[in-house]
């Protein structure tokens, strides 16, 4: 499903959570939605899912309005950070309501995922651990196969092996049945290999919307003897550096042209990629 947002404003009383966001997301891609705490990620996803009405601006999914528009919201799934938060009933009940609400529901896939994440239908949701709730949430998100599926930090409660299993299943199912997926996460290094495009928001505004590889190309790791590294990076924006003995590595922001790359090679320096997390920290203002 295509997403079009224009001049979106969302207010909670006197607080402005989203401040004039304009965004266009094509269908059949995996998007990373990144931002610091309080940046507006959850607010944006809530508007896209129809959980909240925009205060100003235009929000369209496949050309249609979202809020209180069942033909659209029935094809959108948002799994929030607490996973499956229903405190009544069992896993069976949660799956029943998910199937009732989602016309693209795949019951067989849900059974496969229950086995993979070691959940059974008789578990009482209220007594489940945070990790189990997170697993139930991602099962509902994946098995729903909604054309617009959004995960808002919904897998943070899972342990590392379970999160990796989730990433593997998501990517395999996306490749077999493409749809639009938006993933909000603080685990940037861990989840960024999945992203085709990245949207970074800060203080309720879009800072970056770019293909993931183009964004990563903005940064370069310069490694070699300390003195040549310092000389080469003088005047560049240095995000950070590390030194072990006589060897130093500096992370610089900005695309290096061919002439600078030849200069680095002549100085015996090695150029390599940097992590998206380092770019994210730089683009959102560093420590606070």
Q: How far is Cα 164 from Cα 220, in angstroms, rounded to an integer?
A: 27
* Closest C-alpha among 64, 191, 77, 186 to residue 140: 77
288 falls within a domain: no
- Residues 63, 80: one domain? yes
Q: Based on the domain organization, do 145 and 245 belong to the same domain?
A: no
Give pLDDT, residue 102. Answer: 87
Res 83: pLDDT: 58
* Alpha helices (runs of H) in 35-150, residue ranges in sequence order: 41-48, 70-73, 91-101, 107-116, 130-144
Is 136 in the same domain as 232?
Answer: no
What digits encode the pLDDT tens for the residues 243-286?
999 999 999 998 899 999 999 999 999 999 888 988 888 888 75
pLDDT band at 10 (very low <50, low <70, confident <90, very high): very high
Average of per-residue pLDDT across 213-228:
92
Are residue 191 and residue 242 in the same domain, yes or no? Answer: no
Output DSSP code: residue 265: H
Q: 60 and 158 share a domain?
A: yes
Identify whether residues 186 and 224 lie together within a single domain.
no
On whether residue 80 sits in a domain, the answer given is yes
State which of 212, 231, 256 marks the end of a domain.
Answer: 212
3-state helix, strand, coil in the chain (%, to 5): 35, 30, 35
**Residue 160 phi, psi (nearest 5):** -60, -45
Residue 252 contacts residue 219 (beta carbons within 8 Å): yes
pLDDT for 5 beyond 90: yes
Do both 47 and 156 map to the same domain? Answer: yes
Residue-wise pLDDT tens digits, 151-161: 998 888 899 99
Number of residues assigned to the chain: 288
Q: What's the pLDDT score for residue 86? A: 60
Taking all residues of the chain, what is their mean pLDDT, rounded to a whole number? Answer: 92
Strand order in the sheet with 64-65: 15-25, 3-12, 56-61, 64-65
User: Is residue 222 located within the same domain as residue 162?
Assistant: no
Task: Write the CATH number for 59.
Answer: 3.40.50.300
- 275: its two tokens: 């992590």
Residue 288: the pLDDT is 45
Our count of domains for the chain comes to 2
Structural domain including 36 reads 3-212
Q: Please indicate, yes or no, whether residues 109 and 55 belong to a single structural domain of this protein.
A: yes
Q: In whole angstroms, what is the distance from residue 163 CA to residue 195 CA?
A: 16
Looking at 149, 183, 212, the residue that finishes a domain is: 212
Q: What percent of the chain has pLDDT over 70?
A: 97
Q: Is the pTM of this model over 0.95?
A: no
């Amino acid at each position: 499903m295509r997403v079009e947002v224009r001049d979106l404003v969302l207010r909670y009383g006197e607080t402005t959570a989203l401040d004039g966001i304009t965004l266009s997301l094509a269908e059949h891609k995996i998007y990373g939605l990144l931002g610091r705490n309080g940046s507006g990620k959850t607010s944006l996803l809530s508007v896209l899912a129809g959980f909240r009405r925009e205060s100003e601006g235009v929000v369209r999914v496949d050309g249609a309005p979202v809020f209180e528009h069942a033909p659209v919201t029935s094809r959108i799934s948002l799994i929030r950070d607490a996973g499956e938060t229903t405190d009544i009933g069992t896993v069976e009940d949660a799956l029943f309501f998910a199937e009732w609400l989602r016309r693209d529901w795949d019951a067989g896939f849900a059974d496969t995922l229950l086995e993979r994440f070691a959940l059974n239908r008789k578990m009482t949701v209220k007594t489940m651990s945070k990790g189990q709730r997170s697993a139930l949430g991602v099962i509902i998100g994946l098995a729903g196969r909604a054309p617009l599926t959004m995960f808002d930090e919904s897998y943070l409660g899972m342990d590392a092996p379970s999160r990796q299993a989730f990433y593997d299943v998501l990517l395999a199912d996306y490749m077999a049945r493409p749809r639009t997926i938006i993933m909000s996460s603080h685990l940037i290094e861990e989840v960024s290999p999945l992203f085709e495009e990245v949207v970074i928001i800060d203080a309720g505004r879009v800072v970056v919307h770019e293909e993931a590889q183009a964004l990563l190309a903005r940064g370069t790791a310069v490694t070699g003897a300390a003195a040549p590294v310092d000389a080469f990076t003088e005047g560049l924006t240095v995000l950070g550096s590390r030194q072990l003995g006589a060897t130093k590595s500096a992370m610089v922001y900005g695309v290096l042209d061919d002439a600078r790359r030849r200069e680095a090679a002549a100085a015996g320096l090695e150029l390599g990629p940097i992590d998206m997390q380092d770019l994210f920290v730089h683009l959102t203002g560093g420590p606070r």
